[in-house]
Amino acid sequence: MKFKNVIIACSTIALFLSCATNPFTGKSTMALVPNSQLFPTAFAQYNQVLSESNVETGTARADMITRVGQRIAVAAERWLNANGHQGYLTDYKWEYNLIDDPTVNAWCMPGGKIVFYTGILPIAQSETGVAAIMGHEVAHALANHGQQRMSAAYIQQGLAVAGNVAIQDDQTRDAFNQYYGVGSNVLGMLPFSRSHETEADKIGLYLMGIAGYNPTEASNLWVRMKANSGGEAPPEMLSTHPSNDSRIANLKALAPQAIEESKKFGVSSFRPISNFNY
Ligand SMILES: [Zn+2]
């Protein structure tokens, strides 16, 4: 009897699971929460984070974050269009904000809502370094990695079993908070899986290259991330985005491929890498 219930619950989950295709990998991914439900939640939470934070505007470094973000967004759109995924970004409402806070972190919520903390700028070191981080974070959002974590959470919490498939707004919000960790809880964000990290690294390299930033700098950035983690308590950016030698080697190996991809989009040379002194 119990076994039978499990079967019924599982097939109900399967019935209501919508699977979206990840345009970057061609893989089918779990998307229990549709963008139409996820994005409004993300946008509201993003605005809440901004209202509770020291958002910096009108400075050279805030303008730089916007500039890099816009270029990465354009690169994403160009890449998707060129690969037959027109309309993929229709519901995106890109926004780029710099928060004056020593936290070493940056993130992109579903729908293209980006935050950089000033604390990560010394590690980014240059606009190209910012582009590497931005490309990686945007890649997580484009590939719906967070959405997959949320979907897994619903199943784990039994929210998606028979009789309870209609996910309530407050359940969406709770799962969202848990898996994106917004507001004061940004630092509580759970780590992405290793395969998601590798995927975001590759997509991020392409995006930064197409945006005109030299992909060879990405591995250098993660070397600095690793060095920064130093002792026993790494900054959160590093614990949710574990940096290790194999990742750095992987980025180095993929850079020539990203440079070739950039050429397809008319990028034959990259912006010079010069350290900023914000
Ligand atoms: Zn990541």
Q: How far is the CA of 200 from the centre of ligand 1 (A)?
A: 6
C-alpha distances in Å from residue 149, one per residue of 48, 106, 107, 253: 22, 18, 15, 28
- Residues 111-162: pLDDT tens digits? 999 999 999 999 999 999 999 999 999 998 888 877 766 666 555 555 444 3
Catalytic residue of the set 127, 137, 217, 236: 137
Q: How far is the CA of 140 from the centre of ligand 1 (A)?
A: 7
Lowest pLDDT segment from 64-78, 188-202, 262-276: 188-202
CB 261 within 8 A of CB 210: yes
Lowest pLDDT segment from 54-68, 149-163, 190-204: 149-163
CB 35 within 8 A of CB 111: yes
Q: How far is the CA of 64 from the centre of ligand 1 (A)?
A: 21
Token readout for 29 is: 């991914």
Q: How far is the CA of 74 from the centre of ligand 1 (A)?
A: 20
Q: How far is the CA of 241 from the centre of ligand 1 (A)?
A: 5
Q: What average pLDDT does the segment 82-98 reach?
A: 93
The residue ranking higher by pLDDT, 68 or 43, is 68
3-state secondary structure of 111: coil
Q: How far is the CA of 193 from the centre of ligand 1 (A)?
A: 9
CA distance 36 to 10: 24
CA distance 119 to 98: 10
Strand-pair category, 55-56 with 95-99: antiparallel
- Provide, rounded to the nearest whole percent, the portion of the chain with pLDDT above 70: 69
Is 137 a catalytic site residue? yes
75: phi then psi, degrees, rounded to nearest 5? -60, -45
C-alpha distances in Å from residue 35, one per residue of 20, 231, 252: 10, 39, 33
- Residues 222-249: pLDDT tens digits? 989 888 876 444 455 555 666 678 889 9
| DSSP β-bridge partners for residue 275 | 126
| DSSP β-bridge partners for residue 106 | 116
Q: Where are the alpha helices (DSSP H) in 104-244?
A: 121-124, 127-142, 145-156, 169-180, 194-210, 217-229, 236-240
Q: What average pLDDT does the segment 42-70 reach?
A: 94
User: Which range scores top for mean pLDDT: 38-52, 74-88, 229-243?
Assistant: 74-88
